[in-house]
Amino acid sequence: MEIDDSGDPKGVQPGGQVQPLANDVGMVGAEETTTPGQPRPQTVLEDDDCNGNRSPPQAHTNYWPEEDRIREMLAKCYDAGILRSGWDIGELREEGTKARFVLNRSLDEIKVKWLKERTVTVIFLEGSKNLPKKLKEDVIRAFEDIWMNEQRFDPAITRGRVCIESSNVLSYVAKDKRVADWMKEEGSFRVALKRRWYNIAFKPWLTKVEIQEAKKELEKTYFWIRVVDVPIDAFCYLESAAAASIGPVIKVYPPEKNASTPRLINVRMDIAIESIARLKETLEFMTFQGQVIELQVANALSSWCSKCRKYFHSEEQCTRTREEEILTEKTRMESASGQGRGKAHSEDRSQFKGGGRRMVSESSKNEATSSRGDLTPSKQRRRLSMDMKELRIQDEVHAEPSSPSIEEDIRESSKGAIDSAAKALSFLKHNRRQATGSDKEWDKYLLPLLLTATQEGMFALAWTISAHESVLPSQPIPGPPMPRDMVNITRRLYGSEIAVRMIPDIPTPRFFIDKPPLKVKLFTPIFDARMSQQELTLLIERGMCLFPLEWLAQSDHPDLAHLRILGEVSVMELGKLNSKIPRMRALSSRFIKSYLTSKWDTGTATADRNLAPSQSAPPLPSIRIQSVTATFGHHAAH
């Protein structure tokens, strides 16, 4: 503490009266002077009994009659930082190491009333809300410099107190009510700091309860949507599309958290609550080039996964959950395998310490490393394969003359280690392999699904085998087919008159049918089929039939009962076909319709090379729905 010439502390007049210093926010207890080494004197609000013990203040003291005195004490607290003791702040409730106070109602109401008069909420708007805390305070101090240099108020009114509330909000307690009123009247302001302009807004101060109530009232006036994974060529249309298809847009949020690093992922919009009945789940745009842009729209009722932080599936359906379970089980099996192998190798080393053959296993070290989680699943699979190969080489190359019992022991230990590694390696196969057993147990069939577009709509192709029954043809295959093999087999099944090409960006769906004696794994590639009007008429005369594609999309359509696969199996076994296709490539999507009617690129590896140039954009054939669906008997009316 600095001492002036009179011996009194600076800022304290003779007699102990406080004299505030310029730009001084005060100190706790600055109004009181104490002698070093002596206890702090009590205020008049604290009473001592004759024994020197402090008596507790009266409970539920009504401070409204003393409002002026309380306001003066609040001003000293917030302006000069002087904390007073001895107040009846309320009821104390002790819960172990926790002290809980139910505040005195009258005292708390006077405090809130005073703060509302002297406090302003400062909100940092777009472009300045991500500033560091220190820079936020500098912005407020620069704003104070403006009205202090202009001498807008009395010179005795100095800087106020700043309290950071959140990333873009702070509270400013002014030294005078006139400063707070002037800031609220300004509403917003631009401040230049270090050659950059910052936008800030001034709002009346509210308690946390009032803010929550205001938010609840505001939430009754709008609902939010979030457009997920917005492509760059659709970003500029979002607000207009939402306003036209759903309702008036109240607010559009920036797609990035930090304005200094712009990026585009998801876009949130608030829409008037009156339009909630028109809520959409998908927005589609078609460009002048015929490209279809389909966007998913999430809302408060959409499924949300807290594990991967994505929409449209729950935590139980998340693929990460299953991957974690597989990794945990794999680690457990590898740990058990490593312990068994280490024990076998330890026995071998102790048994042949006198110069006999030793088995040096680096795989034990590798497994110890993988058990610590340092390797990815792909590296672990390669490491296990190397371990198996290494053990076989050791068993063959290092074979030396020895007693039959020793060779038998070594062979048994090597066999046990190889078996353990093989089990761990097989465990790393795809989840479907675990659920269905060994892949060799299943007969593999290729069942191509041919889609075609006509003037009446989109259809799938099948062959008629009786008056009331049709079949989707298939062919046995030795293993997973390559794209060229799929095209060749499809042409053999449906005839060379039909030009086919695989629809891109759709992984080949796989189905497992276990209906004794059938145990079949189906590969179902999806093709775009093209034919002329004459070829279509000829094929229908030979027994080909067309059924609406929407039947497959519905999966439980009754007319599917007349379609067969693999002889006696109903095509309803393919009912989950849509779930195996990306959502934006579903059978009923705009993408499928656009692709089935677009021009062909005969240079692709999966297109029919025999397609004539004149057929690169053939006109859509016309069919009569009655003659096409007559194959399905009484369902023709559908």
Structure tokens at 518: 């059938």
In the prediction, which pLDDT does 33 show?
42
Any idea what DSSP says for residue 41? P
3-class SS at 262? coil
Helical ranges in 428-498 per DSSP H: 431-436, 483-494
pTM > 0.75: yes or no: no
CA-wise closest residue to 89 among 103, 99, 75: 103
What φ, ψ does residue 80 adopt, rounded to 5°? -110, -5
In the prediction, which pLDDT does 543 show?
86
Which residues have C-beta within 8 Å of that of residue 185, sequence separation ≥ 6? none
Residue type, 73: M
Q: Is 143 exposed, middle or buried (0-12, 13-18, 19+ CB in 10 A)?
A: buried
In the prediction, which pLDDT does 69 show?
92
Task: Assess contact for 531 and 539: CB atoms under 8 A.
Answer: yes
Q: How far apart are the first and last CA of the chain?
A: 96
Q: What is the spatial distance between Cα 50 and Cα 292, in angstroms, rounded to a whole number?
A: 90
- Report the largest interatomic distance among the alpha carbons of the chain, rounded to a whole angstrom: 121
Structure tokens at 273: 């609550």
Residue type, 574: L
Residue type, 98: K
Task: Assess contact for 451 and 529: CB atoms under 8 A.
Answer: yes
Task: Assess contact for 205 and 120: CB atoms under 8 A.
Answer: yes
In the prediction, which pLDDT does 320 show?
76
* DSSP result, 585-637: G-TTSHHHHHHHTSPP-TTSTTB-TT--GGGSSPPPP---HHHHHGGGGGGGG
In the prediction, which pLDDT does 346 show?
52
In the prediction, which pLDDT does 8 show?
46
3-class SS at 291? coil
Angle (deg, nearest 10), helices 67-80 and 105-118: 60
Residue type, 513: I
Any idea what DSSP says for residue 477? -
Any idea what DSSP says for residue 469? E
Q: What is the spatial distance between Cα 587 and Cα 459, in angstroms, rounded to a whole number?
A: 10
Q: What is the spatial distance between Cα 524 and Cα 449, in angstroms, rounded to a whole number?
A: 6
Task: Assess contact for 201 and 154: CB atoms under 8 A.
Answer: no
In the prediction, which pLDDT does 178 show?
92
Q: What is the spatial distance between Cα 485 and Cα 604, in angstroms, rounded to a whole number?
A: 14
Task: Assess contact for 32 and 40: CB atoms under 8 A.
Answer: yes
Q: Would you state the torsion angle of the CA atoms of residues 43, 47, 49, 51, taken in this order, to the nearest 10 degrees?
A: -30
Is beta strand 457-466 parallel, antiparallel or unpaired with respect to 544-548? antiparallel
CA-wise closest residue to 490 among 479, 477, 478: 477
Q: What is the spatial distance between Cα 11 and Cα 21, in angstroms, rounded to a whole number?
A: 6
Q: Cα angle at 187 between 182 and 193, to 5 degrees?
A: 90
β-bridge partners, 161: 173
Which residues have C-beta within 8 Å of that of residue 108, sequence separation ≥ 6? 90
Structure tokens at 402: 């020895």
Q: What is the spatial distance between Cα 523 and Cα 337, in angstroms, rounded to a whole number?
A: 36
Q: Cα angle at 565 between 559 and 569, to 5 degrees?
A: 80
The helix (H) or strand (E) run that includes residue 528 is: strand 526-530
Task: Assess contact for 551 and 461: CB atoms under 8 A.
Answer: no
Q: What is the spatial distance between Cα 210 and Cα 204, in angstroms, rounded to a whole number?
A: 11
Q: What is the spatial distance between Cα 468 and Cα 289, in angstroms, rounded to a whole number?
A: 43
Task: Assess contact for 110 and 70: CB atoms under 8 A.
Answer: yes
Structure tokens at 509: 């769906």
β-bridge partners, 227: 267, 297
Structure tokens at 408: 């038998």
Structure tokens at 279: 């809520």
Task: Assess contact for 574 and 481: CB atoms under 8 A.
Answer: no
With a cut of 70, which residues of the chain have pLDDT below it? 1-59, 127, 129, 193-194, 337-440, 555, 575, 601-618, 622-638
- Residue 373 vs residues 7, 320, 327, 540: alpha-carbon distances, Å: 70, 16, 9, 60
Q: For the chain, state the CA radius of gyration.
A: 40
Helical ranges in 231-359 per DSSP H: 238-245, 319-351
Where residue 510 falls (left for φ over 0; alpha for ψ -120 to 50; beta otherwise) is: beta
In the prediction, which pLDDT does 624 show?
57
